[in-house]
Amino acid sequence: MAPFAGSIGAPAVLTFLVEEIPEGGLEWSQEMPPEWVDPLLGPQFRRDGHPIVLEVSITRRGRNVVVQGRLTGSLAYVCSRCAGDATREVDHAFSHVFVSRSHHPAFPDDLDAPGEAEFTFYDGHEVRVEPVVAEEFVLSMPWFPVCSESCRGLCPHCGQNLNEGTCSCEADVVDPRWAPLLNLKRTR
């Protein structure tokens, strides 16, 4: 069974019938299709030609389902400080437990779940893993990616990339919007 079944253009959904998950669980690895990856990327990120790969293991514990996964690959992005192009390796592991609401009104104490696992209650006979994978992928990306922690950014006056050299702008230039406050300090 291919995890991403469906018609071309339809959203890819990883849906599993709990009763059909074998005793030993399921494991697989798959490249995530570009039509799945692209809508999840923030405006500064883009695919760099390397695939995003999902490795997942699904096991059943009674009516509960434990999903352990890892997303790997790389993405290109624009640095939030210097606006230069950079590449970021994606290597994000996650654990998630689907708890049957009809059998457990609260998270069961006897469930041997991995540490730090998130959980979701589900109703019925199936679990939808794709929304969890999508959420984990989005959460794995930084809000303000930088090319390096030591990135010096751009000069706010002339736009010079300060990683490539210094500029001739004055260091003590006061933003004109704050100048009235500077005058208050001088009058006292």
The residue type found at 165 is G
> In the predicted model, is pLDDT for residue 122 greater than 90?
no
Segment 87-105 mean pLDDT: 86
The values of phi and psi at residue 91, to 5°, are: -150, 90
Q: What angle do CA 119, 121, 122 make, to 5 degrees?
A: 130
What angle is formed at CA 136 by the lines to CA 17 and CA 10, rounded to 5 degrees? 55
Cβ neighbours of 127 (radius 10 Å): 24
Q: What percent of the chain has pLDDT over 70?
A: 82
Instruction: List pLDDT tens digits, range 34-46.
Output: 999 999 998 999 9
- Predicted local confidence at residue 183, as pLDDT: 75
- Say what the pLDDT of residue 112 is: 56
For residue 132, give every residue at least 6 positions away whose Cβ sits within 8 Å of its Cβ, in sequence order, or none.
Answer: 67, 94, 96, 118, 120
pLDDT for res 2: 42
DSSP run (H or E) holding 77: strand 64-78
Reading the block at residue 68, the tokens are: 């352990």
Predicted local distance difference test score (pLDDT) of residue 174: 73
What are the residue ranges spanned by the domains of the chain? 15-151, 153-188
Name the average pLDDT for the chain: 84
What is residue 109's DSSP assignment? T
**Residue % of the chain over a pLDDT of 90:** 56
